[in-house]
Structure 1
Amino acid sequence: MTFKVRMFLICLSLTLLSCKNEYSSPELEKHFTESQIEDLNKIKTFFINDIMNVDMDNFHKNFINEVEKMEASGSPYFSKKKIDSVLSSISADTFNEIWEKRIDSTQLKNKIYDYLLPKYQGKYQIFLADISKKNKAVDHYYRRMINSGDFNRLSMLGYIKEYPKEFDLKNINIQILLAIQYISVLKETFN
C-alpha cells in the first residue's frame, strides 16, 4: 500500500470516528441501541433546527436567546403536526423507553388531553441517572423528575444559567435532555 493510500485511510478513519462522537456519547452507547441513538438524534436535530431554529455559529448565545423567546411567548410558534410527525418517525421501542403517553378527559369541557410523562425506569431515566452522577445540574433535574413523576415544567433557563459549565449546550447528552424536555412540555401546550 502506498503512503498516500495509507494516509487517506487514516484520515478517513479519524473523520468517521470524530463524526460518530458528535452524534453519540459513551453514556448514550451504554444505555441505548444504535437505532435508538439515531432516533434520539432525530429528536435532537428536530428540536435544534426546527423548533429553536439555531445553527452552530455562536450556538450557546443563539440557543439561550431562542429559549428565552419561546418561554416568554407562552405559546409555541410551531405546529403540533410537526411534533407529532417527529414522534411518529421514531421507533415505538425508542418512544417507549423515553415516554409514557397518557390521555385524560374533562367532563366540564368535553375535551381529551394527551400528554407525555417520563417512562418510569425506562432507558431514558436510567441514562439521566447515570449522567447525574457526574453532573449536579442534571442530578437536580433528574431528582425533580423522579419526585414528581413528570417533566419539570419550570424554566430550563434556570439550569442553563445557574450551571453553565455543567449544562454545556455543546454536549450531546445535554442537547438530548433539552430536546426531550421541551418537546414533552410543548406537546402538552397544544391541548
Structure 2
Amino acid sequence: FKLKTKHNKGHIAQVVCDATRLRHHAQVVVHKIMKKLILILIQVLFLCILNACEMKHTEKELESNFTIEQIADLRKITEFFKNSICDDTGLDFKVCFNEKNYGSLLVNAFELLSRIDFDEQQKLYKQISSTTFDEIWMFCEATRYPSKRKFQDICSVYDGKYQKYLIDLGKKNIRIAKYADKIQASGGFNVFDIGLNEIFKENSYFDLDDPNIQLILAIHFLSINDQIKRNPLLNELEEPLKIAPLE
C-alpha cells in the first residue's frame, strides 16, 4: 500500500510538472500570437491611414480628364513652378510656401513672379506635348486701353480639358468652382482671382498638400507670369508693373 501511495504521488508530481510545462508553453504560444496580432493591427492601421490620405487627395478628376502622357506633362508644370519659387528644391510644396512667407500680406504676387525665369518657362512649353499645352492655353489677341494697342496674350482654352478639370474639382471645392467660373467667363487668368493671403487663412480651400491645388496654383501663376513678361515694353509704356526681387 505504501509503495502504491509513493507511486501515485510520483505520478501526480509528474502530471503537475507536465501541466506546468504545458501551461508555460501555452503562455509562450499565446504571447507569440498576441505579438503577431498586434503587429498585424499596426500594419492595418498604418494602411488605413495611408488610404485615408490617398482618399483625401485623389487624382480621380485628373485621370478622368487627361491621358497618362498629359498627366506626366502636368506634373512637369507643377515641378517647374515649385523649383522656381523654392530655394531648396528638396522641400515639399507646402513647406516651401511657408518658408518663403508667400502667404504674408506684405508679400504680393509680383514678388513671387520675380522668381520665375520667363526664358526657362518658354523652354518648359517646348518640353510638354502640344496636345497638353492646347488643352490649357492658347494665344489670343488682346487690347491695351486707353491706347488700344493690340498684343499677343496667353489665354485659357474654352471648354478645354483643363477647364473641364477645374469644373470637376469644383464639385467638391466651392472655391475652385468660383475660380473655374471666372476663367470660363473671362477666357483668361487674372492675378486677383487667387490671393496669396487667402491660401494661408484658417480653413482655406487651398490645401497645399493636395496635388490638384499645387497644379492649379502652378498654372495660374505661370499664366500671370507669361502675361506680364511676354510684352515687357508694352507693360512699361502703358501700365508699368514693378516686379521687385525677393531678398
TM-score range, shorter chain: 0.7 to 0.9
Aligned pairs for 1:48-63 within 5 A: 48-53=82-87, 55-56=91-92, 58-62=95-99
TM-score by length of 1: 0.75
Displacement of 1:27 in angstroms is 1.1
In 2: Cα distance, 1:25 partner to 1:53 partner: 28
Identity of aligned residues (%): 31
Cα shift readout 1:158-185 (whole Å, capped 9, x = no counterpart) = 5414574421011011010000000000
**1: CA distance, partners of 2:186 / 2:62:** 24
Q: How large is the Cα RMSD of the aligned pairs? A: 3.2
Structure with larger Rg: 2
Q: Aligned pair in 2 of structure 1 residues 148, 59: CA closer, same or farther (>3 Å)?
A: same
C-alpha deviation, 1:152, in angstroms: 2.6
Unpaired segments of 5 or more residues in structure 2? 1-46, 232-247
SS in 1 for 2:191: coil
Q: Judge conservation of contact 1:137–1:159 (CA < 8 Å) in 2.
A: no
- 1:167 maps to 2:206: yes
Q: Residue 29 and residue 102 in structure 1: after superposition, are their counterparts in 2 closer, same or farther (change >3 A)? A: same
Is contact 1:52–1:66 with CA below 8 Å preserved after alignment?
Answer: no
Pairing of 1:92-171 with structure 2 (within 5 A): 92-103=130-141, 113-154=151-192, 155-162=194-201, 164-171=203-210
The answer on 1:87 being equivalent to 2:125 is yes
Secondary structure of 1:58's aligned partner: helix
CA distance in 2, matches of 1:177, 1:189: 19
Say whether 1:178 aligns with 2:217. Answer: yes
Q: Give the aligned length.
A: 170
The change in CA–CA distance for 1:164 and 1:86 in structure 2 (over 3 A counts) is: farther
Q: TM-score, normalised by structure 2?
A: 0.59
Query: How far did 1:59 drift?
Result: 4.1
Secondary structure at the counterpart of residue 100 of structure 1: strand
CA 1:133–1:98: 2 relative to 1, 3 Å: same
